[in-house]
Amino acid sequence: MKVFSLDSKDECSKIGANIILDELEKNKNLVLGLATGSTPELMYNYIIDNFKKRNLSFKDVKTFNLDEYVGLKPNYEDQSYRNFMNTCLFNQIDIDKNNTHFPVSYKEINVQNNYDSYDKLIDENGGIDIQILGIGNNGHIAFNEPGSELESKTRLIELTESTIKANSRFFDNINDVPKKAVTMGINSIFNAKKIILLAFGENKREAVEKLINAKSFDKNWPCTSLYNHEDLTILTDIQF
C-alpha cells in the first residue's frame, strides 16, 4: 500500500488523473472501475481537461461503475449514478456509452438478489485494470456497508442509516434517499489489478486510519479488506 498525504485535494486529483492517463497512453483498451460521490469529481475534471492535450482517446475504453441506487423516485433521476457519470465524465470525453456499465439500471423495477452476472462481464472483459474508489465515513467502499463479507460479489444491499444520512445532502428530504442499492462486492473490488483510493476531509480520517493500520480484515470497517492488496494507492489530503 502506498499512502500519499498531500496538501490539497487538487493535488491528489491531479495525480489520480495522471495515473489513469498514463495507463491509457500504454493501453488504449483500458478497463476502468469508476466511483461516484463528490470525491472523484475533481479528478474527472482533470481527465476531461487533459486527455485531448495528451492526444489520448477513450473510444476503446470500457468502464464498470461500482454501484447504483435502486428505487430512485422519478423526480430524482438526476441523482442516479448513471446520470452523475454522464454529466461529470462520459458526456465530456469521447467514450462510447455502450462501453459504460452499471450493475443495475436505476429504472429497474424487478430487482433480483443476485447480480453476479456483472462480475462475469467484468471477467469476460479481462478484469478491471484501475479501480477508482472513494470511502464512506463508516469505512464503506462502493456500497459495501459494515458487515459485508470479504468474499462478497455484486449484489443488492440495504443502505445503513449512516449512509442514508450522508447521502441525504443530495435530496430535498431524507425520506427520498433510496434505501437500497446494487453494489460491486468486496471481492469484486479486490480483484482489480490496481486500486486508487481518494479520501478528502477530516470526516474520513477514522476510516482511512483503519485501513492504513489494518493487519487483517475487520468486518466493521469494509475498507480494511484492501489492507493486503498488491497495488493500492491512497491519495488523501488528511495529514497522518
- Residue found by looking up cell 476510516 in the block: 207
Stretch of 97-105, 129-137, 207-215, 225-233 contacting ligand GLP, by CB under 6 A: 129-137
Q: What span, in angstroms and rounded, lies between the C-alpha atoms of 190 and 36? A: 18
Taking CA atoms, 116 is separated from 83, 134, 152, 219, 235, in Å, by: 23, 22, 10, 21, 30
Phi–psi pair at 82, nearest 5 degrees: -60, -50
Name the grid cell of 17.
488523473
Strand, coil or helix: what is 226?
A: helix
Closer to ligand GLP by Cβ: residue 57 or 180: 180
Closer to ligand GLP by Cβ: residue 56 or 82: 82
Q: Is 67 considered catalytic here? A: yes
234 binds ligand GLP (CB under 6 A): no
136 binds ligand GLP (CB under 6 A): yes
Single residue of 37, 103, 178, 185 touching ligand GLP by CB under 6 A: 37
Single residue of 13, 152, 163, 224 touching ligand GLP by CB under 6 A: 163
Closer to ligand GLP by Cβ: residue 68 or 119: 68
Taking CA atoms, 207 is separated from 9, 144, 155, in Å, by: 17, 13, 23
- Residue found by looking up cell 497495488 in the block: 231
Single residue of 17, 142, 232, 235 touching ligand GLP by CB under 6 A: 142
Q: Is 138 considered catalytic here? A: yes
39 binds ligand GLP (CB under 6 A): yes
All residues at 6 or more sequence positions from 170 whose CB lies less than 8 Å from its CB, including other chains: 79, 177
Closer to ligand GLP by Cβ: residue 130 or 142: 142
Amino acid in position 41 = E
The residues in 43-102 that bind ligand GLP, with binding defined as CB under 6 A, are 66-67
Closest CA to 66 of 37, 34, 106: 34
Binding site for ligand GLP (CB under 6 A): 35-39, 66-67, 134-136, 142-143, 163, 167
Just list the catalytic residues.
Answer: 67, 138, 140, 145
